[in-house]
Amino acid sequence: MADEEPKNMSMFPLDAKSYHIMHEIGSGVSGVVYKAVCIPMNSAVVAIKAIDLERSRANLDDVRKEAKVMVLLSHPNILRAHCSFTVDSQLWVVMPFMAAGSLHSIISSSFPDGLPEPAIAIVLKEILSALAYLHDQGHIHRDIKAGNILVDSDGSVKLADFGVSASIYESHPSFQWCPSSSSSFCNDMAGTPYWMAPEVIHSHVGYGIKADIWSFGITALELAHGRPPLSHLPLSKSLMMRITNRFRIEDSHYKNDKEKKKKKFSKAFKEMVASCLSQDPSKRPSAEKLLRHPFFKNCRSVEYLVKNMLQAVPSMEERFKDMSINSDSNSPIVKVRRVSGWNFNEDVLEMDPVFPTENDEKCTINCVQHHGEEMEDKACCPDSIVVEVNRINAKEGEESPKDVCASPPNSTAVPKQLLIPNLVSLLSSLDVQRVMVKNVLACCGGMAVDEEKLRDQREQQLLGVVQRLQRTVDELNIQLQQELRRNAHLEAALDCIKKKGSAEEGNESELNCA
């Protein structure tokens, strides 16, 4: 089904009439993905991504580059467009239909706690082979994540969505495509924030192919646990922690009693992921090198995926239907809610639609539970790393009241149904705070003592600590703002120089010709 020889592309007709749209299988900010049949080609099944050019935030030049990339890449693990053409103000990209949908959708419907390790190895190996090809071609994907990994019914795995990919051979850097509709913070950044590498956040350092390796590591964690690390945190905090912190495969960010008992990962896997998540991009191995890592040595064939993963998964149609039904009641307030992690799925190949309200609520509640358990865990094992994590968590705790305070004024005029989620999140963040305070107390001097004096003293200490942490958070915030501003300046300066450069070049060649 997904067999694509370069010559096939000319066979697909370039008009809407030749395709019969069956139903929607996914949607994103810029458009919708349909399952369709191509009538003149024996009703071959295809996926059509319909991008609304009128609404799309990408400028036409970016759309052109994406279409070009998708036509010129040819690799068994890369989803290649059959053809593309415009239908009124829509761009239709006709692609092979990947019957099992995205891994994100597979995970959320059937493997909420992550995939078994052999399946992870197969998927990652296929993706690495795609990445090695892409990087060799001088392309950076910039949005590696489970939502962009598609699986067909025969178990074949393909990397999709080149909406934000960049070519290091193209001279004009057009990195402005904003993947999010609501966060001005992301204006200069491409990719989906939870998967984003630190040097992409520090965007003045520039992008390199090693940023893809980072996102690949995060995707490995996502496949292993069912979600990317830090995804329970609000985005800006997740970004901050990315800069200051390190991940490990069994990181406390995931720890959860149930999971801990069940999940055991091989040493090779942990080591492989750790190498991808090195803060220093130059220390991350290339895709080529990763393919030779022992973790992939005894990797099984894709048939394993068919037998062990795909059989457990409901059809894509059913998955999409479920999501649509669930979302109906809440959809009107989608835009009012704050950003959720999955809301940043710009791609339309993501077979799961994004419904922030639903997910968000669940997410907040989950987050509280994780926090609670995490904290108790930590209290009984005074390990240095643990303390560090606690400190960062405590910082986070300091910030949450602000978020909460900000929301009530907006919601005063809102009906009950709208208020309830807000109140739930208020309650949960209060819970989080309570746990935090308890925890910091514990850290400061073991379990609480009854004596009033000591307690007062501790409270003073605690206040001091809290204030210091607050200051650190503020300082980091300021630094971040400064970095962003400096980046903007630098970019403006660069533009200026470029313009001057090209003007001079123009003049020069004019002289030459005269």
Partner 1 sequence: MKGLFKSKPRTPAELVRQARELLIYIDLNGPSREGKREEKMAELSKTIRELKSILYGNSESEPVSEACVQLTQEFFRENTLRLLIICLPKLNLEARKDATQIVANLQRQQVHSRLIASDYLEANKDLMDILVSGYDNMDIALHYGAMLRECIRHQSIARYVLESEHMKKFFDYIQLPNFDIASDASATFKELLTRHKSTVAEFLSKNYDWFFAEFNSKLLSSPNYITRRQAIKLLGDMLLDRSNSGVMTRYVSSKDNLMILMNLLRESSKNIQIEAFHVFKLFAANQNKPAEIVSILVTNRSKLLRFFSNFKLEKEDEQFEADKAQVVKEIAAL
Q: Which of residues 274-333 bind partner 1 (CB under 8 A)?
A: 286, 288
Distance CA 399, CA 403 (A): 7
Q: How buried is 240 (Cβ within 10 angstroms: 0-12 exposed, 13-18 middle, 19+ buried)?
A: buried
Q: Say if residue 49 carries a ligand binding annotation.
A: yes
Report d(CA 199, CA 214) in Å as an integer.
10
DSSP sequence for 139-208: EE----SGGGEEE-TT--EEE---TT-EETT-SS------S-SS-GGGTT--S-GGG--HHHHSGGG---
Least Å distance between CB 84 and partner 1?
Answer: 4
Contacts of residue 425, defined as CB under 8 A and 6 or more positions apart, other chains included, come to: 361, 364, 404, 407
Helical (H) or strand (E) element with 435? helix 416-445
Minimal distance in Å, beta carbon 95 to partner 1?
A: 13
Compute how many residues bind partner 1; rule: CB under 8 A. 34
Strand partners, 157: 151
| 206 interacts with partner 1 by CB under 8 A | no
Instruction: Return the range that interacts with partner 1 (CB under 8 A); candidates 134-142, 178-186, 391-399, 427-435.
Output: 134-142
**Token pair recorded at residue 486:** 């400096």
135/319 with CB nearer partner 1: 135
Residue 452 within binding range of partner 1, rule CB under 8 A: no
> Considering the rule CB under 8 A, would residue 450 count as an interface residue with partner 1?
no
Q: Does 6 bind partner 1 (CB under 8 A)?
A: yes
Give least dist CB 488 to partner 1, A: 17
Question: Of residues 32, 36, 50, 63, which one binds partner 1 by CB under 8 A?
Answer: 63
Output DSSP code: residue 339.
P
Phi-psi region of 140 (alpha: psi -120 to 50; beta: other; left: phi over 0): beta
Contacts of 125 (CB under 8 A, 6+ apart): 291, 296, 299
Q: Where does 202-312 have alpha helices with state H? A: 209-225, 235-244, 257-262, 267-276, 287-291, 303-308
Nearer Cβ to partner 1, position 467 or 507? 507
Q: Contact region for partner 1 (CB under 8 A) — 68-76, 306-314, 383-391, 437-445?
A: 68-76
Read out DSSP for 343-376? Answer: GG---S--SS---HHHHHHHHHHHHHHHHHHHHH
- Residue 217 beta carbon to partner 1: minimum distance, rounded to whole angstroms: 19
Closest to partner 1 by CB, 68 vs 300, is: 68
Q: What is the DSSP letter of 78?
A: B
Q: Which of 88, 136, 143, 152 is catalytic?
A: 143
Does 67 contact partner 1 by CB under 8 A?
Answer: yes
Contact flag: residue 448 with partner 1 (CB under 8 A): no
Q: Least separation, in Å, of the C-beta of 210 and partner 1?
A: 10
Site map 74..113 versus partner 1, x via CB under 8 A: x--------xxxx-xx-x----------------------
Least distance in angstroms from the C-beta of 322 to partner 1:
34
Q: Does 60 bind partner 1 (CB under 8 A)?
A: yes
Q: How far is CA 415 from CA 172, 336, 410, 451, in A?
A: 49, 13, 12, 47
Active site residue 188: no
Q: Which residues bind partner 1 (CB under 8 A)?
A: 6, 10, 14-15, 53-54, 60-61, 63-64, 67-68, 71-72, 74, 83-86, 88-89, 91, 135, 137-138, 169, 286, 288, 505-506, 509-510, 512-513
Catalytically active residues are 143
| Annotation: binding site for ATP | 49
